[in-house]
Amino acid sequence: MKYEKCEKCGAHLDHGERCDCEKEKELEALLVPAKGKIQRIRIKDSLAEWQKAVGGYIETVTMAEGVVLICNKEGKLLDLPVNEHLCQINGDFLLAGVRGDGFVSLTRKQMEQLERLFA
């Protein structure tokens, strides 16, 4: 297996993986709109940015090991449109990586798998 080295802190990373030292800035995630095409986005790792992206208070749902869905906790109460990609969710949602108690960037492999799953 090939490893890369973080240019900022020197940590060893799997190919395509982003280092935790970059976590404070922006993360790579997927935005899954209620209607329309899934988009790769960069988002600041702050509660305000996560809430802005989903239009309100957030709720997280573990999708798979290392992947979390972030949606509007009150989506159904607010009568947001049913998401055409996942009908149990109302409104837009995000897919991000998770490690421990924090969000991290999705790896390229995770993005590709999730894009196929929710296409």
* Residue ranges covered by each domain of the chain: 20-117
Strand ranges for the chain from DSSP E = 3-5, 12-14, 26-32, 39-44, 58-64, 67-72, 93-99, 102-104
Q: What is the pLDDT of residue 119?
A: 82
- The tokens for 24 are 């404070």
> pTM to 2 decimals?
0.78
Q: How far apart are CA 5 and CA 7, in angstroms?
A: 6
pLDDT digits (tens, 9 = 90+) for 19-52: 666 555 789 999 999 999 999 999 999 888 999 9
Phi-psi region of 63 (alpha: psi -120 to 50; beta: other; left: phi over 0): alpha
Residue 1 has pLDDT above 60, yes or no: no
Q: Are 70 and 59 in contact (CB under 8 A)?
A: yes
